[in-house]
A and B are shown apart, each in its own frame.
Chain A
Amino acid sequence: MGFHKCCCLFIPPRVLENLARTGVEQARLSIQQSQQSRAKRGAKIVDMATFTATRKAEAAKRQVYDCKRTWLQRVNLVRSEGAPASTDVAVNDAYNFAGKLRDYFKKVLGRNSIDNLGMDLILNVHFGLKYMNAFWDGDEMTFGDGDGEIFINFSKSLDVVAHELAHGVTQFTANLEYKSQSGALNEHFSDVFGSAITQYADKQTADDADWLIGDEIMGPDLYGEALRSMKAPGTAYDNSLLGKDPQPDHMNSYYAGPEDNEGVHINSGIPNKAFYRVAMDIGTDKAVLVWYAALQKLWATANFNDAVGVIVDSARLLTRAGKVPVGSPQTVRAAFKAVGLPT
């Protein structure tokens, strides 16, 4: 049951902070994000059950809202779980992609929706006017239509929708802080799931995948460009409108400036390249098992070195369990070494 239609309690921020501090899993919702959601939508009511350990599993129902080109979320509920297709392509894309993502997490990774408790999947489409962005705000996904020239509808791409949903998964697992290296890891995990799920859905292997992120949402002005390349970070675009892809593919060109929350979408190129190398060696399906295991063990302030340690250790444990090929820990170590990690 969604929080908007059940008996709810507003939880004081201090209670949330204490719950988070004492490590209650369901309280690991970013406190800041909840604060922002409340600020944005007035006193947005938070389901008490979300923050207790006794919450029952839900059915991960999809709800697609049309924002009707306003700057508000959840304006019109246009397609709920099981409802017939809409006449609006963006609504159906969001609905169908969310279904694929839910199935992938369940079948391949054994995860029951974003929070592993069957949380409903809320998707907002047609947000704003010419809004060239998509985001996860702490409890739902929101997609703009793009300007129609540089970008088209952001909900048109499975890897974009997967990327945003994966931010939710990260929030309910490692809850990586969205700045500097932990933020770049947050971005990295979203790109990993975006690519892995696209390859799974399109029945591609690491070898024949394009490893591009965002190529499906480029509009007529920049058709053929992409936003990120996991295979060759720094090469996704180079044009007068967007400039040049700033992603490094090695620690020796690490971005240390203040922009983009200290480079969360920039330095993610470094672990992205390492994931690509591992996937080319053991297969994307196996590599993603290792990364997902690691995501569940990482913590909010983990840096690149921490992540390397946890990912290698996850590879070792999965090798012992017979889930990934013998030699996977060595492959992972070599892939990170090739991008200059650990430092």
Chain B
Amino acid sequence: MGPEVPGDYMAPIGVPVTMHIDFECSGGFANLRLIYRADTAELPQELSSELFGLVEGSGVFELQESDVAPQSPGPPDVFFYRLSLAEGGRKTSLSFNDVTAPAQLHPLLARLRELALEQRRNGK
């Protein structure tokens, strides 16, 4: 990875970029319902950069709803997701499940699931 392609997302100089995240993961064998809503402006810098990096790596803004929306219910026990992101001029809102989501989206989903549980542990 060359220096001109940084791992972490970099906002254009002078433009404070924040991202709003609205995530829900439900169902699965355990029938979980995990929700995480955050504005990166309100998060610690380290977590905020991590999330920007995961979002960029996921290619989520390039996905079309029709690429990932399940055509019918099932298959059995997969997680079902709703994810909305708004960042600067970009916005997306998608529904998908574990098998319709591309592999590169999963690290972001796993981290958001973890953050949802962390919030719950902290009584939020």
Contacts and interface: CB of A to CB of B under 8 A. Distances in A.
Indicate whether A and B interact. yes
Contacts of A151: 30
A299 interface: no
B31 A266 contact: yes
Contact of B73 (A71, A160, A183, A214): A183
Given A70-B103, A131-B110, A30 B75 contact: yes
Given A71-B106, A133-B98, A186 B76 contact: yes
Contacts of A248: none
Contact of B74 (A72, A178, A227): A178
A151 B73 CA distance: 25
Q: Range of interface residues on chain B? A: 20 to 34
Contacts of A154: 29
Nearest to B27: A260
- Going nearest first, the 9 A-B pairs with the smallest beta carbon separation are A178-B74, A71-B106, A265-B31, A32-B72, A179-B73, A135-B77, A167-B76, A133-B28, A71-B103
Q: Range of interface residues on chain A? A: 35 or more
Interface of A: 30, 32-33, 35-37, 39-40, 70-72, 128-138, 147, 150-151, 154, 160, 163-164, 167, 177-179, 183, 186-187, 190, 214, 227, 240-243, 246, 259-261, 264-266
B114 A160 contact: no
Contacts of B107: 71, 129
B64 interface: no
Interface of B: 26-33, 70-80, 97-100, 103-104, 106-107, 110, 113-114, 117, 120-121, 123
A260 B120 contact: no
Given A36-B99, A71-B107, A129-B110, A178 B33 contact: no
